[in-house]
Structure formats: structure tokens, C-alpha cells
Structure 1
Amino acid sequence: MKMIKNDSKWVLSLYLQEGSYQYKFIVDGKWCYDILKPTQKDPLGNINNVLLVSNEPNPKPQSKSQPQNPPKSQSKSTKKPIEEPLSGRSLEFDIIHNNPPKDSIVFFGDSDIAYWDVQHYFPECSPLSCGVPGATTNHILRYTPFFLTKYQPKVVVLIGGENDLGHGVTPKKVAHNFEKILSLFQAHHVPLIYVSTKLEPNTRHLQQQYEETNSLISALCSSSESGALFVDCYADFLIAGVKPNRHYFESDGIHLSPKGYQLFTLKVREALKSLSFL
């Protein structure tokens, strides 16, 4: 399908039914994808952008005559809380597994999880993968209550935060979201393993933000009552502690190569063993 140039942008308008669509661009005769948009691998291992179309109805407008706040005499217990429907990337999490087996080791988070063949690297425990490319800690936080109820996992390996930082979110905000996520896991008595951020070749300008995020989240996990284990792999992905080792990354300078996933597996395997899950 040919795109049309509109001012300084190339555009294409399509009417799509609700669902998930993979797409890619041809630029100067070469196939490519947008690294700033959500991505997903097809059955052949090609990385494509992915678009989720959700036709959710608009909420019913409130009548002008209806009071904005309930009368003081109304009991709060009579008001049933309305649970907002999942949408966007939070909905993408929910469609990965329809009826997942309970009490499993579950890998949860962004594209680092989505592209990690955990069944291959952890064959002895048949883990589940619930990863969405492009997911931020906001998306993860939004889905966590549904996730914990649906999966009822025995332990979770979580990766998230790098997409936030890439979009200008501060380390303090990322840590604040993580603290909320952690509190939900604590309420369900589910152990959490958080894998640190890692500096990629294309995100070297965010080095300070990555390191601050790791420091803040590590502190949240340090308490013996936290129920969380911080896996620090930041230095492992660097050469002489300075620059990212390109052997651990794909040519896009963002996503992990097979060697990168081997390193991830080594670090997470040690963590799972330390908690007696392997």
C-alpha cells in the first residue's frame, strides 16, 4: 500500500476492524520498522511494527442535571466501583494467553520479555511469557491487577522502565510506578524478580537516567520484607564499565541479540535458584 506525502509526513488512512495488525515500511527499496513504535516478531522471526485496534464505546455522558457528587446521605458502600476496561498495550497483555496454567514462573514486561524464548532457555520449568513491545511501567501497572488474578503465578520475572525513560519519563516516576506494582505483588504474596535496566548502544545519552532508575528500584527491593529481588545486570552489558557491548544487541542498537539473551538467562537463572524456584 502506497503512502501519501502530506506536508512533511507520509500518511495512509485505512478502515480496520478490531484486532492486532503487523506492518512494516519500504524506504528506498529496503524493509524497515519504526524503533519508536511497538514491535513484534512474526513466525519467521522478522521484527515488524504492531498496531492494536480497539473499538471501545465512548462512556455515556453525564446529564447536566445529575449532580457531580453523590449526596452526603448516600452510603459509600452502596456504590459499586466501576472497573475500567483494558485498552491499548494493557489490552495487548491480556490477549497473549486465554487460560494460562496457574502457579507458573511468568516473565512479564516489555519487548525484552516478548522476544525472549523463555521456553527454550528455561525448559525445566515450562515458564510463561507475557511481554508486550513498547510497554511502559504505566502499562504494566495498569495490567498488574488483572495479571495477578489471571495467572496466579508462583514467581514473576519483571522487566520494564526503559521505554519510559526513552519517552522522557523521569527515573523518580519510573520508581514510583514500580513501587505501586510491587505493592500489588506484596498484597498477593507473589515473589517478584526485577531485572535492571541496561544501557543500549542507541540509548547512551540516557546513561544517567538508567543508573538513577536502577539505584531507586534497587533500594525499594533491598528490604527483607519487600518480597522482591533486584537483579543487577547493568555492568554486565558494558565494555570496561563504560560503553555498551554491541555483541549483546541486534543491529538496531536497542533489542537484545541471542548473546544478550544468554547473559539475561544466566543472571535470572541465578536469581531463580537463589529463591529455590529452579
Structure 2
Amino acid sequence: MLRLFLRVPKIPRILLLATLITMVWKAISVNGEVDPARFEEAIAAFEQQDAEQMPPQDAILFVGSSSIRKWDTAKWFPDRTVINRGFGGSHMSDLIHFTKRVVLPYRPRTIVLYEGDNDLAGGKSPGRVHADYVQFVRMIRTELPETKIVFIAIKPSLSRWKLIAKIREANQLIKEVTDDDPLLDYVDVDGPMLNDQGMPRPELFADDGLHLNDTGYELWTKLVEEKLAD
């Protein structure tokens, strides 16, 4: 019997490794992973502001995604010393990446945090949002053990209503963490933002159905102020 043997060229190990890395990266990307480097310009702008005039320590730091960035916290909290370091489109993982640059330098007595909205919209699971929240808390506990962290629940919105089940799952996981720690607090915005039919109240939102208008921020200010007064 005639047998034919085909010589298969060996694939260089480095090529195999590169292929494996690419496959892993693609798998991670499918799960909503994002590159924090996309915010480098925004973070550098904050650092430039700090270089020109460093905010006072022991203030209330508002940090998170565009719901924080668009919130005129100086206007809505006129009797409090506040710092706003929101960067729109961010995930909890982005905040973790930049914590040393946009949180720790201010040594705030309270952190008001809003993240998770974009995480879920980008494909991350409620469990991942919860895990990233816990990681952020641990970072703060290590460097600022007396700082209080107030988490604003991921909001129900008109444009992302299809995510409401995941939103509520993530919120519940985080709330369970806050229930066990006196330095962690949770602001429930879900119920107050719904109408009698259990749907998001349109009067709270900007035209995009996602971000808040002044009426929405008035509600959030009231709910957050209750926690700051504790």
C-alpha cells in the first residue's frame, strides 16, 4: 500500500501564543470588556485642573459615568463642599483603573458613586458589576478606611428598559453588600423613578430617554441628601 506523508510545517510558538491571546481578547470583548485608555484625555484634564487649584480634602466626591458628569453638583449641593469627577460612558472597571488619579488624591470623607449603567448596556453581567463594585470598595478601604461610599442604584430608564431585570439583579447584589457595612450606603432610585404603572417617569429624563433633566436631578439630590445627612 502506498502511503503519502505530508510534511506539516511547525507553527512558531510565538505565533501560537499570539493567536491564543487574540482569541482570549475577543472572548473578553464579547463580554463587554472595554479599554480604560479611551478616557486618558478626560483624566488628564482633571489632573490639570488639580494642578491649577487642588480641591480641598475631606470633601464629598461625586464620581462615575455621565449621570454624574452632567450633574451640576455645586448647584444642587450649595451648602456642601463637593468635587465632581464624572467621566461619561465609563464602566466600574474604568473607575477602578483610574482610582489612584481621580479618587485617592482628594481623600474625600464621602464618595457618591454611580456606575453600572454602561456596564450592563455594554454586555457585562450583573455579577461582574457586583464584583467590580466590591473591588472598588476594597481599594478604598485599603487607602481610605474611614471614607463612606454611597452607591446610587443603577437607574431604570426609558432607553434601557429592556435591561431592567439585569439592572435590578445588579442593584440587589450591591445592596446586599452595603447592608453589612456601616460605611457603605445605597440610594434606591428605582422606585422613586417609576410611575403608577411601574414604568420610568418621562418627566425625569432628557430627550434621549437615558440621561436626567433638572427634574430628575432634583429627585436624585433629595435622595442623596438624605444619605449625606445620616
TM range (shorter): 0.7 to 0.9
RMSD: 1.6
Structure 1 length-normalised TM? 0.65
Query: Which is richer in helix?
Result: 2
Does structure 2 conserve the Cα–Cα contact (< 8 Å) formed by 1:145 and 1:184?
no
| Structure 1 residue 233 displacement after superposition | 1.1
Partner SS, residue 202 of structure 1: coil
Which residue of the partner structure matches residue 142 of structure 1?
Answer: 97
Which residues of structure 1 form unaligned runs of 5+? 1-63, 65-85
Does structure 1 conserve the Cα–Cα contact (< 8 Å) formed by 2:187 and 2:227?
yes
Does structure 2 conserve the Cα–Cα contact (< 8 Å) formed by 1:90 and 1:143?
no
Does structure 2 conserve the Cα–Cα contact (< 8 Å) formed by 1:90 and 1:140?
no
Instruction: With a CA cutoff of 8 Å and minimum separation of 6, indicate the structure with the bigger relative contact order.
Output: 2
| Structure 1 residue 241 displacement after superposition | 5.8
Could you say if the C-alpha distance between residues 214 and 120 of structure 1 is closer, same or farther in structure 2, counting changes exceeding 3 Å? same
Which residue of the partner structure matches residue 211 of structure 1?
Answer: 168
After TM superposition, the structure 1 stretch with the greater mean CA deviation from structure 2, 140-149 or 122-131, is 140-149
- Residue 215 of structure 2 is aligned with which of 255, 259, 262? 259
Q: Which amino acid aligns with 2:194?
A: L
| Structure 1 residue 147 displacement after superposition | 2.9
| Structure 1 residue 126 displacement after superposition | 2.7
1:226-237 matches, cutoff 5 A = 227-237=183-193
- Distance in 1 separating the partners of 2:95 and 2:109: 18
Q: What do the CA deviations read for 1:166-187 (whole angstroms, capped 9, x no partner)?
A: 1111000000000000111212
Partner SS, residue 205 of structure 1: helix
| Structure 1 residue 95 displacement after superposition | 2.2
- Counting aligned pairs with the same residue, the percent is 25
| Structure 1 residue 245 displacement after superposition | 0.4
- Residue 192 of structure 1 is aligned with which of 138, 149, 152? 149
Which residue of the partner structure matches residue 32 of structure 2?
Answer: none
Partner SS, residue 113 of structure 2: strand
Q: Which amino acid aligns with 1:211?
A: R
Correspondence 1:156 to 2:111: yes
Q: What do the CA deviations read for 1:191-221 (whole angstroms, capped 9, x no partner)?
A: 1000001111011100100000100000111
1:1-278 matches, cutoff 5 A = 87-89=37-39, 92-96=42-46, 97-98=49-50, 99-187=54-142, 188-189=144-145, 190-224=147-181, 227-240=183-196, 242-274=198-230
| Structure 1 residue 91 displacement after superposition | 5.1
| Structure 1 residue 224 displacement after superposition | 2.9
| Structure 1 residue 101 displacement after superposition | 2.0
Structure 2 length-normalised TM? 0.78
Which residues of structure 2 form unaligned runs of 5+? 1-13, 15-35
